[in-house]
Structure 1
Amino acid sequence: MSKLFSPLKIGQLELSNRIVIAPMCQYSAEQGDATDWHMIHLGHLALSGAGLLILEATAVSPEARISPADLGLYSDANEQALARVLKAVRQHSGMPIGIQLAHAGRKASTAAPWEGGKQVGLDAGGWQTEAPSALPYAPEDRPPTALDDAGLARIREAFGQTARRAARLGLDMIEVHAAHGYLLHQFLSPLSNQRTDRYGGSLENRMRFPLEVFDAVRAAFPAEKPVGVRISATDWVDGGWDLEQSVAFSMAVAARGSAYVHVSSGGLSPLQKIEVGPGYQLAFAREIKRQVEVPVIGVGMITTPEQAETAIRDGSADLVALARAVLYDPRWPWHAAAALGAQVEAPKQYWRSQPAAYKNLFATE
């Protein structure tokens, strides 16, 4: 029996298998509003047979966006636009859908990747960024504004308000984005957080604001629905955020009710030196799973069914998340089920596509 295709509960949310479609920015929103692209993109991913679909990093305020084309959930118009997309997707898929809530901090106000990804000038539609300290991501970037107490309170409330909007939309779970060099990761890392108040210095102080944000989201979302956290396990820079601190933070969020930890790495500094290879981040997930008693999602160049199956079997992770691999092959879970002798959910309109070599591949009841 395949472990990858065995069921799992995250909190009270039941998943049919251990395959997660990770959040993937599309840079295709209009003033934060989901568009027809999101309906097409999410619609076909929701037919993939994965156990869980997590929507892309979704900004909690206009200034929280990575780019002017980022998805947002900070206005009534954003909420209505996403409701339209979700209604269409849910008509044809029962896949659980979560959302990742994010604030880009000093990495905000940038162009889409296919437009170069550089910071957008204030005279070209960009905006002033904000961060724990007035330290730019890249030397050529505008320095961000160091957040004061009023700014911290505003962001906490924005996360809570967006969580309430997510609840109204009926989303099944929330992931708090504390990875990839965005605002909450910026608070965690000593490379980007050089504050001298209660939010800087010691590990306890650097964790304080991310934990406050998690608490705000958890309090605003229905108690029976899970809230988890995505982290970068290391900055890949000497003197930065590392695995030992990640374990401590994972323990802290678990104690506050985090239903899982989603383990990635990097993104904080252009000085990072990442040792890339198949499954290169799974060792971080394995160590956090060893020490923290919540489900752990592992990622990192997981491209084959055998890799994913092994990651679950050897205890590296409880679930595996796919991003680029599932963009390249939106039926990856179907093909994985065929390779591993498992069964997968598929829409009835596609049942007749089942290859003769894989009888009973699709669940038809």
Structure 2
Amino acid sequence: MADLLSSLTIAGKVLSNRMVMAPTPSGFASADGFVSADLIAYYARRAQGGVGLILSEPLLVVPPAHTEGLNHLGGYADAFVPRLRQLVGAVHAHHTRLLLSLECPTENAALSSAALSALREQFILAAWRTHCAGADGVLLSSADGGVLHSLISPSRNHRHDSYGGDLANRMRLALEVIEGIRTWIGPRFIIGFRLPAEEFCVGGMGMQDARVVARRVIAAGVKILDVTVAVGDALTLARFPGWAVPLANGIKRVTPEVPVIGFGVQGDHHVADSLIRDGSIDLVALDHTLRYNPDWPHRAQDLLDG
């Protein structure tokens, strides 16, 4: 029986446990897009604390429209690769796996069909750069306010071309990116996908559509799902340990072939362990918990082994 401390293999890569650092900002991104020493230290410290998988904060696949004063991580030029390689090496030194998140600002969702097609190539090139940096894979997100979120969400996409309308069209860019990465880099490079199970707004994504999205991205090559709620949504919902797990489990029930990350354990070690043991989810995402207590995974080992 799997538990919070048990290993998991994805695309031939072994995760030492079922604890995952969520893709939240470190606060150490810079205006030039390069990985800084402070950022490397931040991620290395969380890896040292024992987390099995880190999902990075976003790397932009195109330069931000207004570069001056906008802190970000860059994935849009080869020049970023050497420092990304240092980041990967610092995380791998502690036997932690790393998926680098790829993102594009929302304003690009208003691009023409031809420009979105070109943007697909930028995503694929950025994924190749992360591969060159030694990352275990990439994470794409349809939940954090970026271009894929703006396209896939029925409440945000008001296009009338081949990237708008029904779900198949709204998913077009995401599927093209996934298939392109898989074709170019191969099956041992992990592609993760972050999606909202619910958007909690009129006309937004619901569980039925989320399940369809999950099935289609897996068919295209995704190897792990990170289930969340969309940015800014559900802020008024009551939150208690395990509150969001039914959402992740609703996706897991139709995607048995890939592991599903759930969230909302609110820093409770025993709840996190029980959710893995009963099969509700396969991995547990931690955000603020690891920011303020990077040794939480080691503490879990002390508590649960005892």
1:273 and 1:101 map into 2 onto residues whose CA distance is 25
Q: Secondary structure at the match of 1:337?
A: helix
Say whether residues 1:10 and 2:45 are aligned partners.
Answer: no
Distance 1:274 1:13, change over 3 A: farther
What is the aligned partner in structure 2 of residue 35 from structure 1? Answer: 36
Match of 2:115 in 1: 151
Equivalent positions of 1:157-168 (< 5 A) are 157-168=121-132
Aligned to 1:55: 56
Is residue 85 of structure 1 aligned with residue 48 of structure 2? no
CA contact (8 A) 1:304 1:336 kept: no
Give the whole-Å Cα distance in 2 for the aligned partners of 1:166 and 1:36. Answer: 18
- SS of equivalent residue, structure 1 residue 54: strand
State the 1:130 CA deviation. Answer: 2.4
After TM superposition, give the deviation of residue 89 of structure 1 in Å.
Answer: 4.5
Structure 2 length-normalised TM:
0.92
SS at match of 1:77: helix
Distance 1:246 1:2, change over 3 A: closer
Q: Distance in 2 between matches of 1:264 and 1:220?
A: 28
Task: Please state if 1:339 is matched with 2:287.
Answer: no
Aligned to 1:134: none
Percent identity for Structure 1 against Structure 2: 33
What's the CA shift for 1:288? 0.6
SS of 2:74's partner is coil
Structure 1 residues 252, 274: closer, same or farther in 2, change over 3 A? farther
Q: Determine whether 1:282 maps to 2:245.
A: yes
* Alignment-mate amino acid for residue 84 of structure 1: Q
1:62-93 alpha-carbon deviations (Å, 9 max, x no partner)? 13899821111111222222223334444x42
Structure 2 stretches of 5 or more lacking a match? none
- Corresponding pairs, count: 302
**CA-atom RMSD, angstroms?**
2.1
- Mapped to 2, the partners of 1:284 and 1:258 lie a distance apart of 19
Q: Which amino acid aligns with 2:292?
A: Y
1:260 deviation in Å? Answer: 1.3
Contact 1:18 1:320 in 2 (8 A): yes
Cα offsets for 1:201-223 (capped at 9, x unmatched) = 11222122221122223233332
Query: Which amino acid letter does the alignment assign opposite residue 36 of structure 1?
Result: A
Distance in 1 (CA, whole Å) between partners of 2:295 and 2:235 is 33
TM-score by length of 1: 0.77
For residues 296 and 65 of structure 1, the distance between their equivalents in structure 2, rounded to whole angstroms, comes to 36
- For residues 65 and 21 of structure 1, the distance between their equivalents in structure 2, rounded to whole angstroms, comes to 29
Match of 1:130 in 2: 108
My pick for the range that moved more, 315-324 or 19-28, is 19-28
Aligned to 2:292: 328
What is the match of residue 296 of structure 1? 260
* Whole-Å separation in 2 of the counterparts to 1:64 and 1:11: 36
**Structure 1: gaps spanning 5 or more residues:** 106-128, 132-145, 343-365
8 Å CA contact retained: 1:185, 1:268 = no
* 307-316 vs 63-72, which moves further: 63-72
Structure with the greater alpha carbon radius of gyration: 1
Q: From the superposition, tell whether residues 172 and 332 of structure 1 become closer, same or farther in structure 2 (CA, over 3 Å).
A: same
- Write the deviation string for residues 292-340 of structure 1: whole angstroms up to 9, x where unpaired: 1211010124311111112112222101111110111000001111111
Task: Deviation per CA, 1:154-190: give whole Å up to 9, x if none.
Answer: 2101100001101111111211122122210111111
Cα–Cα, structure 1 residues 53 and 152, in superposed 2: closer, same or farther, change >3 Å? same
Give the aligned residue type for 2:63: P
Q: Are residues 197 and 2 of structure 1, via their aligned partners in 2, closer, same or farther at CA, if it must alter by over 3 Å?
A: closer
Residues 265 and 272, structure 2, Cα contact 8 Å, conserved in 1: no
